[in-house]
Amino acid sequence: MLKKLFVLDVAGYIFRSYFALPAMTNDAGESTNALFGFVRSVLKLFTDFTVKNVVAVFDGPDNTLQRVAIYADYKANRKAVPRDLPDQIGRALQFCELMGIPVLAVPEVEADDTMASVALWAGKKDYDVYLCTTDKDMAQVVKDHIFLLNTYKDNRILDSQGVEEVYGVEPKLIGDLLAMTGDASDNVPGMAGIGPKTATVLLQQFGSLEKVLAHPEKVSGKKKQEIIHNEAEKARLSRRLVELNTAVSFPKDKDFFTLGKPDNEGLKVFYGEMGFTSLLKELHLHEKKRQGGIPQEYTLVDDEKSLQALITLLKKQKEVCFDTETTAIHPMYAELVGIGFCYEEGHAWYVPTRGNLGIDKVIEALKPLFEGGDIGFYGHNVKYDYEVMLNNGIKVANLCFDTMLASYLLNAHNRQHSLDKLTLDVFNKVKIPIEDLIGKGKKAITMAEVPIKKVCTYCCEDVDYTCRLKEVLAKELQERKLDALFFEIELPLVPILSSMERKGIYVDVEYLESMTKDLLKILHAKEKEIFGEVGEQFNINSPKQLGVVLFEKMGIKPPKRTATGYSTSAGVLESLEEEYPIVRKILEYRTLEKLRSTYTEALPQQVHHATHRIHCSFNQSVTATGRLSCQDPNLQNIPVRTEVGRRIRGAFKPQKKKWSFLAADYSQIELRLLAHFSKDPGLIEAFKKNVDVHRYTASLVFDVPLDRVTREQRYQAKTVNFGVIYGQQAYRLSQELGISVKEAQHFIDMYFDRYPRVKEYIEESKEKARHEGKAVTIMGRERTIPEIHSKNRMLRQAAERLAVNTPLQGSGADIIKMAMLRVDKRLTQEKKLGYMVLQIHDELILEAPDFELLDLEALVKKEMEGVVKLKVPLVVDIKTGKNWKEC
């Protein structure tokens, strides 16, 4: 049996990944998307095939010299290589060396030529050669023992027959085919007027390019004859350009192509530096090692004597880590399976509630421990465990830390703060995956069905590494002066958010079901209207079918295509709606359908059977700016600008009679913060005079008296006011206002002319982020912005926008969190019946009895407006109503 040699087209993988994958950066702000795609492709190849002989081929330096000597304009039309790509190619070389993959990069030679030379040599030396590439040029060398391998298309392997089936000609004619059609990417001219279909037919008919050129008179059609006659020299020139050089010098030693032993320690460092956590985890699992560092003593506590001994031990501690094992992710539905404890690394205990003791005895024994208040309890995502304990009649009196929140404050720009990820990052340790216990997908079981000993090891490992993490993160919070923010705002907010989640919000199910019926009628009517205009029925919700209808049947020119076909994203359709009324109707249909499926139909399914209320979860560790997010369901996303969206809000109402909602909303808080930070006298004056800031801005920009500002002028000024916060440029503003780019730029210039300190603040914010690598809020919350130094212009500009917006949006988040603490404290002190049920960014929603409303209006307004002292007043607008819509 012949050996297999895999020849990797590195440039092909790198470039494809760069343009196919979304922008990615590591902690240093370096672009990594192309590198990640390349690494993933190589690892997939190694998983799918037994790779013992391999070579990664790079373009050599000055690689176009040979072909430029033939044709000066070879590759002359290519855009400059993106500035953040060469570094990733260098990293790809580093990865190959760490993996033990031999590398070839021959000076003055393109990778294609090197690959062809290696393939032809190896094909004669007892190898089956697999050219791992999507480049059609390489089909020229396919023959016995040489194949094309496309790892992107289910590892499709093409032999000579396969090449002919795909391209219409046998491998020896691929060069002729390319010479006739040309190659726009390499600026190979080809024959103007001859496309792939015609070229294929001619080559099948005549047998070669030279025979076609020698007998143009035998070609059917006068026009084609003229083209062949006139373009003959271009075709011959192109043939020389696409001809692969198979005489490249390289080490002709079989040992050279043998895969070496990977440097796993080096790969760990490499993956860590690049931020490839998933690859780092896979590497650990592949090694099948579990490195704990400290000897582990994990104890199962499942009898009364052992439980009392544990409680005696825990009572002596100042702080104890705990973790609950349950049957569900949502705490309101979670049944307790067991509790883990730890107070020093390497030692942990697990108390099952479904073992010999039973849940009643466990709860009775542990209740005084948790509710005494002398011991500080902590965990990872401790809000969840706090609520699970509440489900079982225990209120944890003293929450002293949360490693997830600590990680979030220290690395707000990171999206993941799971215990598994942090344990891997900090301790180089792969924890037991939850899937090892409960499985995944439809066959998944609950933790209650897992053998107790297995759960014991899993839970003890969780509390053990949470305990270790606390030591590291608490110290870092202190060193970076984030401890005050953590202990005075984020941690005290945990029980408040927990209370809001548990109270939930009532929703009128019958109201929503009636809305669903109404929406279905409207949607059916719109469907008929769209089908009538198109002339056929199709699935409007199918992007594929919609693309075919719009861009093929109706002949609309597609602004954008994807790898799988036509793009019908909202952005694409919105760019077409002005010119094509059918597109506007489709967008209207989509909007209504989303409201139906996401809200009117889905919300009733999320009502808790026991409370008859919806219990969403508030997340403190998701958004990079410090804002709270909401899920299961996301009530922060219910649209308020459309009539249907407002009607949906009408379904949310107090559950009790003679109760109402009170909505308290910070008025234009981000613009007030802009005035505060920029110290712009014009903006400060507007807010101090308590005039309509948008009208005031319009008055300045359009140079008209305040009372003469038109509605249109106010709208334009409002758009610019908010656009400035988000770094809006002239093009985007022109689209929003329906004006020319020149007019929009003039508008922006006028705005900055009237508010000069705002422009200075924007530039100062960018410069500060460049210098410090981060943006900071009013309370010292940090957001690292490593992309501020990126060589990728789009990433760099996005980072600059974050540098401006983060102090504004993040400070707004700080302020409303402090307001929630103050409001909750007053409600508790004055023993009010009313309570908070929702936080929607700058707005708090309370549910209260009608007789408390007047007192609550004054209380809430005072506490919210008194949170911080700015250079402009903080103003809170209060509204009340019998449902959310009325507020």
Q: Is the pLDDT of residue 204 over 90?
A: no
pLDDT tens digits for 837-862? 999 999 999 999 999 999 999 999 99
What is the b/e burial string over 423-437, where b = at least 16 CB atoms within 10 angstroms of the residue's CB? bbbebebbbeeeeeb
Q: Taking residues 259-276, report their average pLDDT.
A: 92
Q: Taking residues 616-641, report their average pLDDT.
A: 92
Q: Is the pLDDT of residue 294 over 60?
A: no
Q: Taking residues 425-450, report their average pLDDT.
A: 91
Q: What angle do CA 381, 382, 385 make, to 5 degrees?
A: 110
Contact 32, 21 (CB under 8 A): no
What span, in angstroms and rounded, lies between the C-alpha atoms of 412 and 417? 9
Q: Taking residues 575-599, report their average pLDDT.
A: 91
What span, in angstroms and rounded, lies between the C-alpha atoms of 62 and 794? 28
| Tokens read off for 876 | 């809170």
Name every residue whose Cβ is closer than 8 Å to that of residue 11 and which is 6 or more positions away in sequence.
58, 59, 89, 111
Amino acid identity, position 151:
T
Alpha helices (H) along 221-303: 222-230, 232-242, 264-274, 277-287
DSSP 3-state assignment of 506? strand
Report the pLDDT value the prediction gives residue 291, as an integer from 0 to 100.
44
pLDDT tens digits for 455-498? 999 999 999 999 999 999 999 999 999 999 999 999 999 999 99
pLDDT tens digits for 467-479? 999 999 999 999 9
Report the pLDDT value the prediction gives residue 210, as an integer from 0 to 100.
85
| The dihedral formed by the CA atoms of 831, 833, 838 and 842, expressed in degrees to the nearest 10 | -60
Report the pLDDT value the prediction gives residue 209, as an integer from 0 to 100.
85
Contact 258, 100 (CB under 8 A): no
Whose structure tokens read 């700016």? 625
Contact 399, 380 (CB under 8 A): no
| Tokens read off for 647 | 């009607």
Closest CA to 99 of 56, 61, 143, 155: 56
Alpha helices (H) along 104-195: 111-123, 160-167, 174-181
Strand segments (E) across 632-759: 659-666
Name every residue whose Cβ is closer than 8 Å to that of residue 511 and which is 6 or more positions away in sequence.
650, 651
| Helix and strand numbers, DSSP H then E, in the chain | 36, 24
pLDDT tens digits for 501-514? 999 999 999 999 99
Report the pLDDT value the prediction gives residue 259, as an integer from 0 to 100.
95
Report the pLDDT value the prediction gives residue 293, as an integer from 0 to 100.
45
Name every residue whose Cβ is closer than 8 Å to that of residue 344 and which is 6 or more positions away in sequence.
467
Q: What is the pTM of this model?
A: 0.83
Q: Residue 843 class from Cβ within 10 Å (0-12 exposed, 13-18 middle, 19+ buried)?
A: middle
DSSP codes joined into one string, 20-64:
HSPP-B-TT--B-HHHHHHHHHHHHHHHHS--SEEEEE-PPTTTT
pLDDT tens digits for 303-350? 999 999 999 999 999 999 999 999 999 999 999 999 999 999 999 999
Q: Taking residues 67-74, report their average pLDDT.
A: 80
Q: Is the pLDDT of residue 683 over 60?
A: yes
The 8-class DSSP code of residue 148 comes to E
Confidence bin at 289 (pLDDT 50/70/90): very low
What span, in angstroms and rounded, lies between the C-alpha atoms of 111 and 245? 10
| The dihedral formed by the CA atoms of 554, 559, 564 and 570, expressed in degrees to the nearest 10 | -90
The 8-class DSSP code of residue 637 comes to G
What span, in angstroms and rounded, lies between the C-alpha atoms of 200 and 182? 13
pLDDT tens digits for 5-60? 999 999 999 999 998 888 888 888 899 999 999 999 999 999 999 999 999 999 99
Report the pLDDT value the prediction gives residue 563, as an integer from 0 to 100.
57
Confidence bin at 287 (pLDDT 50/70/90): low
Q: Taking residues 614-627, report their average pLDDT.
A: 94
What span, in angstroms and rounded, lies between the C-alpha atoms of 831 and 691? 37
Confidence bin at 561 (pLDDT 50/70/90): low
Report the pLDDT value the prediction gives residue 193, as an integer from 0 to 100.
79
What span, in angstroms and rounded, lies between the C-alpha atoms of 449 and 352? 12
What is the chain's Cα-based Rg?
33
Phi, psi of 564 (to 5 degrees): -105, 0
What span, in angstroms and rounded, lies between the C-alpha atoms of 290 and 429? 7
What is the b/e burial string over 280-291, where b = at least 16 CB atoms within 10 angstroms of the residue's CB? bbebbeeeeeee
Closest CA to 762 of 718, 805, 720, 721: 805
Q: Is the pLDDT of residue 280 over 50?
A: yes
pLDDT tens digits for 643-665? 898 999 999 999 999 999 999 99
Q: Residue 473 class from Cβ within 10 Å (0-12 exposed, 13-18 middle, 19+ buried)?
A: buried
Name every residue whose Cβ is closer than 8 Å to that of residue 198 and which is 6 or more positions away in sequence.
224
The 10 Å Cβ neighbour count of residue 731 is 11
What span, in angstroms and rounded, lies between the C-alpha atoms of 859 and 864? 9
Report the pLDDT value the prediction gives residue 642, as an integer from 0 to 100.
84
Name every residue whose Cβ is closer than 8 Å to that of residue 37 and which is 6 or more positions away in sequence.
13, 14, 16, 17, 18, 20, 21
Confidence bin at 562 (pLDDT 50/70/90): low
Give me the domains of the chain, ranges plus CATH numbers. Answer: 3-168+245-257 (3.40.50.1010), 292-480 (3.30.420.10), 509-606 (1.20.1060.10), 669-810 (1.10.150.20)
Q: Taking residues 59-87, report their average pLDDT.
A: 82
Contact 480, 782 (CB under 8 A): yes
Closest CA to 246 of 141, 150, 134, 362: 141
Whose structure tokens read 């989509």? 590
Name every residue whose Cβ is closer than 8 Å to that of residue 480 and which is 6 or more positions away in sequence.
410, 782
Report the pLDDT value the prediction gives residue 579, as an integer from 0 to 100.
86
Report the pLDDT value the prediction gives residue 290, as an integer from 0 to 100.
42
Q: Mean pLDDT for the chain? A: 91
Phi, psi of 759 (to 5 degrees): -65, -40
Is-cis flag, bond preceding 196, omega within 30?
A: no
Q: Percentage of the chain surpassing pLDDT 70?
A: 98
Run of H or E including 18 = helix 10-20
Report the pLDDT value the prediction gives residue 564, as an integer from 0 to 100.
63
Query: Of 311-325, 573-587, 783-797, where does the model show the most confidence?
Result: 311-325
